[in-house]
Chain A
Amino acid sequence: MSARPFAITLLGTSAVAAVVSWNFLASLVVAACGTSLVVGFVWKRVLPTLIAGLLLYPVLAVALTTVLPATWSYLASGLFVIVLCERLTFEYDASRVLESPTGIDAETRSLVSQVSRAHTKKMFTYIALAALVVAGSAVASTYTVRASELIAAAMLLFLVVLIYAIR
């Protein structure tokens, strides 16, 4: 797989988000996002790509509020940006090996594709977990208005416990 389809998707989404938001500031942010994305794509740099994702996130969330409730739109746009930017940066690493001007041998290609498959699998697991969080937040919000704070605090605790347990 190449990084190009992911970059085009991200760029297209940002353009659509800018049009839907119909706001001067949103257009400005999307322009910066596009520039950063192109810089990251051309020079295969992680940081500009992540900055592009960060810039797209609020604009996309605002654009999604036209069709979804605010909470859901933020969750959806966050998930979209994380998944796409992460996959894009992974493709940069893979392309460094695969796009060698003098070619690569079959074993190297096979090892790269194994890592790529493992990465895709992990990504799907992450999306499934994120979907669970979204579902949890939807359920919690029916009982309390403080659902977001509660879930954020629970996740933070979960993270601390997990890292502490392993180390």
Chain B
Amino acid sequence: MSAVLSDTSAASFGLASILVLLFLAFDLRIPLPRPQETGLVVSRRVSETKALMGIPVLVEITLENHGRRVEKVLLHDTPPTLATSSFFHDIPPARAIVTNGSTSLLCGIDEGGRATLRYEVRFSEPGEYRFVSCSVRVQSMFGLAERTLDVPSPLTVRVYPRRLVKDVDTGSAMAFGWSGVTPSRYKGGRLDFMNIRNYTPGDPLREVNWKASGRLGKMLVNEWHVERGLDCVIIVDLSAGSLPRVGEWNGRGEVITSAYELASSLVASGNRVGLLVMGHSLDKVKPGFGSRQLKAMVERLVDSREGEVWSVKHTEQFLEMFFRKQYTLRRGTLFFVFAWPDAEILESVSSLSRMGFVCNSVFVEALGGEGRALTDLRFLKPSEVEFGLRFARAEVESFKTMLAAVSDVYAWSAGSGFTIEARRRRR
């Protein structure tokens, strides 16, 4: 360096430091407020605290300054993460995807001033998402002094599965074409005409057979077979082994949406429906009728978590434990909802079918999502992904054939809903 500086004096080099001193003095003339004095308040709002999967939600963060003017503020927000989930084998919980806008804001705020940051997020998985805190970086104009504050602004958004298909093709008090044994509450419980009998006080007037009454000169009423619905339990498999996962993507969203559509359709048709979710914890909803029952099931599905603790192989014990023998004796109908068929499901369906339960397997088509996630992450080339998917589809087809021997097999895919794949031959 001495060679470079050979033709200059140390004094001139020192003189140049004046500019640095001037720069320091000019930028630091207004010191940054201490954390307790900043007067910066962050408030957060969302367009909906109860949102649907895939529907954008607007997040609005207002930064107010109750202290003295701040020259430069960099506000940064973190999109919410799924609070009902945790790290799974080092994979972080699902995070909301920012679809519009930026999560950062650069501004200067006067005393009493405010600035608003807006962005839109989309949720790819149902559950409870939690916003934690915003990071606020306060700087002098030239950035020589800076202070970072974490301003808490908690908020929770509950995300529900979106019903993509309005109706599964079901008849009244029937699901997929056959009726059950439980008297239905649907449409007054009338199905087939049975008989005419004498009117007794209390019979509804709409049941009076006016023609017959006129002919015979006495009040007669029609009698009907009571409409009967299914007594069914939906068993949702969220065990880690049967839930496809690639990076941060997993098939939980699809499985929950399909279970919700199924439950919604069955409840709407007047059936008695219960729920068992096998995953990190065992979530159960006893069989019941009506929209309140559906709401309880949806809440339970939203709170469910994937995990390795509970598995479908013990379904029978759970049915007996939670729904008592009353249910076992009724020989009800079971719907198994899963994203990847494996030996455990096959074994469980076969065993319960042998015991007299009417079993239905609902295969949730998540291979498309898995393929897209693999392509996005660039783990494999698109041709390799397609090659792998062909093998996976072949394996699924083989399982479907085996399941068809003991149950009806349905496929569910987002957008197109349920389609029947194979029907079990009944005796």
Residues of A near any B CB (own CB < 8 A): 21, 23, 25-26, 29, 46, 57-59, 61-62, 65, 70-71, 73-75, 77-79, 82, 86, 89-90, 93-94, 96-97, 100, 102-105, 107-108, 111-112, 114-115, 118-119, 122, 125-126, 129-130, 133, 137, 146-149, 151-152, 155-156, 158-159, 162-163, 166-167
Contact = CB atoms under 8 A, between A and B. Distances in A.
Given A26-B4, A111-B106, 6 more contacts: A79-B19, A97-B105, A100-B102, A100-B104, A103-B102, A108-B101
Contacts of A149: 11, 14
Contacts of A119: 72, 141-142
A63 to B, nearest CB: 10
A151 B14 CA distance: 10
B102 A78 contact: no
A125 B25 CA distance: 13
Interface string B9-50: 101111111111111111011110000000000000000000
Contacts of B119: 102
Given A77-B16, A93-B74, A102 B23 contact: no
A59 B103 CA distance: 41
A162 B108 contact: no
Given A115-B106, A162-B25, A58 B117 contact: no
B102 A104 contact: yes
B156 to A, nearest CB: 23
A150 to B, nearest CB: 10
Contacts of A118: 71, 108, 141
Given A102-B99, A149-B11, A155 B21 contact: yes
B254 to A, nearest CB: 24
Contact of B4 (A58, A73, A167): A58
Nearest to B140: A122
B102 A152 contact: no
A152 B18 contact: yes
B8 interface: yes
Interface of B: 1, 3-5, 7-9, 11-26, 28-31, 71-72, 74, 98-108, 115-119, 141-143
B104 A25 contact: no
A108 B76 CA distance: 12
Q: Which of B18, B25, B26, B30 has the most CB of A within 10 A?
A: B18
- Of the candidates B22, B30, B99, the one having the most CB atoms from chain A within 10 angstroms of its own CB is B22
Q: Which of A46, A71, A151 has the most C-beta atoms of chain B within 10 angstroms of its own C-beta?
A: A71
A166 B29 contact: yes
Chain A CB count within 10 A is highest, among B14, B30, B99, for: B14
A114 B4 contact: no
A148 B107 contact: no
A102 B12 contact: no
**What is the interface of chain B mostly: helix, strand, loop, or mixed?**
mixed
A93 B102 contact: no
Contacts of A155: 18, 21-22, 25
Question: What are the 8 A-B residue pairs with the smallest beta carbon separation, nearest first?
Answer: A100-B102, A148-B15, A74-B16, A111-B107, A78-B16, A159-B25, A78-B19, A71-B12
A122 B141 contact: yes
Contacts of B143: 46, 86, 89-90, 93
A25 B31 contact: no
A25 B6 CA distance: 12
B30 A115 contact: no
Contact of B106 (A21, A94, A103): A94
Contact of B22 (A89, A130, A163): A130
Nearest to B71: A118
B29 to A, nearest CB: 6
Contacts of B103: 100
Q: Taking each of A75, A108, A152, which has the highest tally of chain B beta carbons within 10 Å of its own beta carbon?
A: A108
Given A78-B20, A107-B118, A65 B8 contact: yes
Contacts of A61: 8, 13, 16
A113 B48 CA distance: 31
A125 B22 CA distance: 11
Nearest to A129: B22
Given A105-B101, A108-B105, A82 B31 contact: no
Contacts of B12: 70-71, 73-74, 148
Contacts of A146: 11
Contacts of B25: 155, 158-159, 162-163
A75 B4 CA distance: 17
- Chain A CB count within 10 A is highest, among B3, B12, B15, B25, for B15
Contact of B7 (A65, A79, A100, A104): A65
A130 B115 CA distance: 34
A148 B14 contact: yes
Contact of B31 (A59, A71, A78, A167): A167
Nearest to B142: A86
A23 B4 CA distance: 8
